[in-house]
Amino acid sequence: MSPAADWKIEGDYFEGCDCDAACRCVYLGQPDTGSCHVSFAWHITKGHLGATNLDGLNVAAMFHTPGHMATGPKWNVALYLDSRAKPEQADALGKIFSGQAGGFLGMLAGFIGSVKGVKSVPIEFEKAGRSRKVRIPNVLDLEIEAITGMNDKEEATLHNVAFTGVPGFDPVVSRSKTYRYHDHGYSIELSGKNGFYSPFAYGP
């Protein structure tokens, strides 16, 4: 097995976008405004590529989909890697999250038309109860909170949706308390829009 094929990462994931909750894109619907700006955040609790350990590192990305997510046009993406990563860890994260290592992220790479940039930055990831937060100074502030289900004790979740960043998991439907993104010519300032969070697990 090649080192690129010997990898696995798992941990906590969340996202926020400018569609209303719950976003129709997961059902292969059209984005609410005809396009979508969605930011993803991952905290790796356990992971490796070959002998390179990735435990505890964070990754974030902003995707601009100028039309229907599944049918096009192709997406624009900006990728952010944890500045705490050592050179070999940053290289491993770059290979995994660019899709070079294959698996689900390799499939996702097929939707991307333009990479706006890859940056090494401080990424603060916070998980507390039904809230998720990520912050990249001067770039991204995203906080989402789960929508309560019918019994007021459990989160509202989606099951077996057609299009998701966390295949194999049922994402929790959430709304953003804050979503600010300023980079690569994009300027987003909103709240009260769609969010999802879930565990994640990716591999080749």
d(C-alpha 82, C-alpha 124), whole Å: 9
Q: How far is CA 132 from CA 28, 67, 71, 129, 141, in A?
A: 25, 27, 30, 8, 11
Q: Where are the domains of the chain?
A: 3-194
Give per-residue burial for 141-154: e unless 16+ CB within 10 Å, then b.
bbbbbbbeeeeeee
| Residue 100 burial (CB count, 10 A) | 12
Q: Dump pLDDT digits (tens) for 39-75.
A: 999 999 999 999 999 999 999 999 999 888 888 889 9
Residue pLDDT, tens place only, 153-193: 788 899 989 889 999 999 999 999 999 999 999 999 999 99
Tell me how far CA of residue 187 lies from CA of 39, 40, 41, 94, 113, in angstroms: 13, 16, 18, 25, 20
* Confidence band for 2, pLDDT divided at 50, 70 and 90: low
Q: How far apart are CA 130 and CA 58, in angstroms?
A: 19
Query: CB neighbours (10 Å) of residue 115?
Result: 13
* Strand 112-121 versus strand 75-82 pairing type: parallel
Q: Say if residues 57 and 46 touch (Cβ distance below 8 Å).
A: no
Nearest to 129 by CA among 140, 141, 145: 145
Q: What is the pTM of this model?
A: 0.93
| Confidence band of 1 (pLDDT split at 50, 70, 90) | very low
